[in-house]
A and B are shown apart, each in its own frame.
Chain A
Amino acid sequence: MSFVSLRTSSLTLATEVGEAPAGLTEFWIIAGYLLLLILLGFFASRLFTGTKSDYQLASHSIGPFLLLMSIFGTTMTAFALLGSTGEAYKEGIGVYGMLASSSGIIHSLCFFLVGIRLWSFGKRYGYATQIQFFRDRLDSDLIGLLLFPILVSLVIPYLLIGVMGSGTVIQTMTAGAFPDVQRFVTESPATSGGFPKEFGSLVVCCVVLSYVFFGGMRGTAWANAFQTIVFMVLGVVTFCVIASRLGGEESLLDNLRKLGEAIPEDKATRVEMSKTKFFSYLLIPLSVGMFPHLFQHWLTAKSAKSFRLSVVAHPLFIMIVWVPCVLIGVWATSDLIPANIPLPKNPNAVLTVLVKNLTGPILGGLLTAGVLAAIMSSLDSQFLCIGTMFTNDIATHYAKEGRFTDRQEVMLTRGFIIAIVALTYWLSLFESKSVFTLGVWCFTGFASLFPLVVAAVYWRGLTKHGAFACVLATIGAWLYFFREAGYGANRTYTIDLLGHEVMPVAAIFAMSAIALVGVSLVTSPPKEETLRKFFSDDII
């Protein structure tokens, strides 16, 4: 029986016996979850003191646990649940080493080496954005004008992935809930009768906007912590349920053994994976050092000690989320998958299809909430960050001193957040499948700018000309390779570097670092007063 007839027959049967239509339970669970988030934002807003520092940075009051949860939630997007399963389905177990264990090493390295130093500068000199730091450190106003459009342009596709992904997930999981609403009927039975994706995206945008608008950074941190717990717990529960349904044995261990033995050889090893490509993937996690939204989260820390838990627990949290998803992905390639579950062509939909067919509507609804949690815990920080950048790096930076009161700056930030949410939603309405392939290109861009932030905090010899050369080399090389990859259309695009297959990030990163060092060595360094400001003590 095909997937189409399975869904149609279950829908007909449900209607005949007077049960709720398929997808309706999931719909109400999702609605309840979104309502909970709005309430959370409302409670967070009651603690808002009304100042700009409180709105943008929660008055530097975030302790170790909230910092860990908010940073982890921000770095884990929908890719952590859906993408990890899909990539493992396609490539095998190697994706864990390629994307997860490498991030465990590199992310914590960035938090420790870059995050703490930037936090100390931010707290001393009152920064809320990366650009404020770079302008001061390099004695250059122009570096802000160059970086601003680049950082915003790299974040927007990332935002689009979340907004579009949330709509698609809601529509798929609620398919069949509204069979009588003509507007909700689609050609594909996998989505027909589901809450339309443009409405789903709109609802998610409005929910995120509500708690970011009212709660600011505090609301964002609370929501992130809550959502991180939700998607971690639900990920593990889903893993156990799917193992039990696919294995059909008594105990979890017996199920795991049966499923383990069924994994095809090519998925249980990395025989089809290039060793040098795997190695070059190590550069991708360096992107966290340049994410503007993560910079803002670092500045919320109450003290340097607040970073300790994040530095230690981050690799373990990645493991807790990724190992179950990777195993589910490789199980899906085994012959234990029932013939009546037609696996989709799009690997990212593998987890959703397994959940929908192997678990009940309640777990299906809860898992959808978990996926939305992963998406929204990144979206909120990115919206807040772009609003903060527009306010601090453009509006107030170029206005006369004293032009805006503190309260007006809060209103400006909120206004910019509404504008960016509206713009992102509007862009998401234009169906563009290629936007999903842009994710890795965004990470490549941020990772290639990493030499800039490391040099800014550790190298006295960095000059503004060196910084310009680094940014221009990065963007030039990025555009070149992006065009070569058919503007993201070629999803498996790699380059040949000295006879080895590597990701484009390896070449762009090398050019960025060479330009930065080369130009800095032949141009005059910043003023001694500036260097004293940033290198007066040996922090790390």
Chain B
Amino acid sequence: MLRFIWPLVILLLILHQDNWFWDDGTLVFGFIPVGLFYHACISVAAATTWFLVVLFCWPKGLDEKVSHESTKGEQSV
């Protein structure tokens, strides 16, 4: 499962280092500097990435397994 997560996270980290907007003071929508707007978009992209991870990479059956093992542990105690 990790092999799906790492490329996405690495891509986000590369995009995070936005040397291309470093000295660009353009205002997006006439009020927000592009450097800030871009990083707000990175936050949205991060949330989207994690949403995809939750949809497609979430560990299956973990709750049942943990619940079963913790019940077993309590009984043996």
Contacts and interface: CB of A to CB of B under 8 A. Distances in A.
A113 B9 CA distance: 12
B46 A108 contact: yes
Interface residues of B, number: 44
- Chain B at the A interface: SS class: helix
A257 B27 CA distance: 9
A275 B25 contact: no
Contacts of A250: none
B35 A316 contact: no
A120 B51 CA distance: 21
A125 B19 CA distance: 47
A90 interface: no
Given A108-B46, A257-B30, A124 B70 contact: yes
Interface string B6-34: 00010011001111001111010011110
Interface stretch (A264-272, A336-344, A383-391, A418-426): A264-272
Contacts of A303: 63, 67
A271 B22 contact: yes
Contacts of B63: 303-305
A109 B25 contact: no
A222 B15 CA distance: 36
Given A101-B40, A268-B25, A539-B59, A123 B66 contact: yes
A304 B33 contact: no
B40 A105 contact: no
Interface stretch (A22-30, A181-189, A319-327, A459-467): A319-327
A152 to B, nearest CB: 29
A136 to B, nearest CB: 13
B9 A105 contact: yes
Contacts of B54: 308, 311-312
A278 interface: yes
A105 B42 contact: yes
B62 to A, nearest CB: 5
A245 B55 CA distance: 44
Given A104-B42, A270-B23, A279 B47 contact: no
Contacts of A540: 1-2, 57, 59
A93 interface: yes
A411 to B, nearest CB: 23
Interface in B58-77: 58-59, 62-63, 65-67, 69-70, 73
B24 A96 contact: no
Contacts of A97: 16, 18, 35, 39, 42
Contact of A108 (B16, B40, B50, B69): B50
A226 interface: no
Contact of B47 (A96, A253, A304, A313): A313
Contacts of A318: 43
Among A105, A303, A327, which residue has the most Cβ atoms of chain B within 10 A? A105
Contacts of B69: 124
Nearest to A323: B40
Given A101-B39, A112-B50, A269-B33, A316 B44 contact: yes
B59 A116 contact: yes
A101 B35 contact: no
B1 to A, nearest CB: 6
A104 B46 contact: yes
Nearest to B65: A537
Contact of A539 (B12, B17, B18, B62): B62
Nearest to B36: A93
Given A124-B70, A304-B66, A279 B17 contact: yes
A108 B53 CA distance: 11
B31 A312 contact: no
B51 A312 contact: yes
A263 interface: yes
B17 A278 contact: yes
Given A257-B30, A260-B31, A326-B36, A304 B62 contact: yes
11 contacts: A96-B40, A97-B35, A105-B16, A116-B62, A123-B70, A260-B32, A261-B27, A268-B33, A275-B17, A282-B13, A318-B43
Given A104-B42, A126-B73, 17 more contacts: A112-B53, A113-B5, A256-B30, A256-B31, A257-B30, A265-B25, A268-B25, A268-B33, A269-B24, A270-B22, A311-B53, A312-B47, A314-B50, A319-B40, A537-B65, A540-B2, A540-B59
Q: Which 3 A-B pairs have the closest CB atoms?
A: A260-B31, A256-B31, A319-B43
Interface of B: 1-2, 5, 9, 12-13, 16-19, 22-25, 27, 30-33, 35-36, 39-40, 42-44, 46-47, 49-51, 53-54, 57-59, 62-63, 65-67, 69-70, 73
